Copies of this chain bind each other. A is one copy, B any other.
Amino acid sequence: MVPADLIDFAHQLADIARAETLRHAGGSVAVENKSGADAFDPVTAADRDAERLMRAAIQEHHPDHGVTGEELGETIGSGRFRWLLDPIDGTRSYTCGLPTWTTLIALLDGDEPVLGIIDAPALDERYVGYAGTGSLSSRGLSTPLRVSSSTRLAEARFSTTDPFLFDGPAGEALARLRKAVRTTRYGHDAYAYARLAAGTLDLVVECDLKPHDYAALIPVVRGAGGVFGDWSGGRDFSSGNVIAAATPQLYDAAVEIMMSAP
């Protein structure tokens, strides 16, 4: 169960982040490199500013809540609730002026994500899931989220962010999956899970996700009636290897291909 005031508060956090990320959005975003010279991992001022403002709001209104953010680390809380924040998921899209970057907000009760928000500020789309239900708010209208009824790989609309993140056996498994599905889309990060929840994608497979990447996705996908699991048919996300599917049949079919990879 999620207390009603925390649902409202989660929306407030998303509003705070949206104002900040949109204010900085566009082509002139200042980009720096947080992983050294070899890797390009953009962190923008918007990313940190948005997280700082969300943390301040949590500290003010729910000082007993814990917070873990992608940018500014962990604050241990004294209570049962904890927030996981990723102010800009899809920073590459953000810095390339492509509109499908999102803000991810998850509320955990103990270790269980009980509420998730995938907010797409540039598109004015907010996907929310909790307590087995999901909704999409856009342009002042709210509609229920409902996954598709797709059960067969051969008819599935599949998405993964970057095929070149899959190495060795995982790369081979992904190549088999790409050949098995009807169509494949790349590059959408968390927005792909939002569109799966909305019923226009059927399958998403990714590797190496961090808790702040996937925690918010789980209540949204499950709230829309979808399946969110790991590559082995279980619920162990410590490896960061996840599968989201519209139906159990489609999930099982994807597991059959991906479980050959470690």
Contacts and interface: CB of A to CB of B under 8 A. Distances in A.
Interface of A: 26-27, 40, 42, 92-93, 95-100, 123, 148, 157, 159, 162-164, 178, 182-183, 185-188, 191, 195, 198-201
How many monomers of this chain does the complex have?
2
A178 B164 contact: yes
Contacts of A162: 186
A114 to B, nearest CB: 27
B187 A40 contact: no
21 contacts: A26-B200, A40-B182, A95-B183, A96-B157, A96-B159, A96-B183, A96-B201, A97-B200, A97-B201, A98-B100, A98-B191, A98-B195, A98-B200, A99-B99, A100-B100, A162-B186, A163-B163, A163-B164, A164-B178, A186-B187, A187-B187
Contacts of A185: 92-93, 96, 98, 187
Given A182-B40, A186-B186, A187-B188, A148 B95 contact: no
Contacts of A95: 157, 183, 200
Nearest to A163: B163
Contact of A27 (B27, B40, B100, B198): B198
A119 to B, nearest CB: 15
Nearest to A96: B157
Given A40-B183, A164-B178, A96 B195 contact: yes
A165 to B, nearest CB: 12
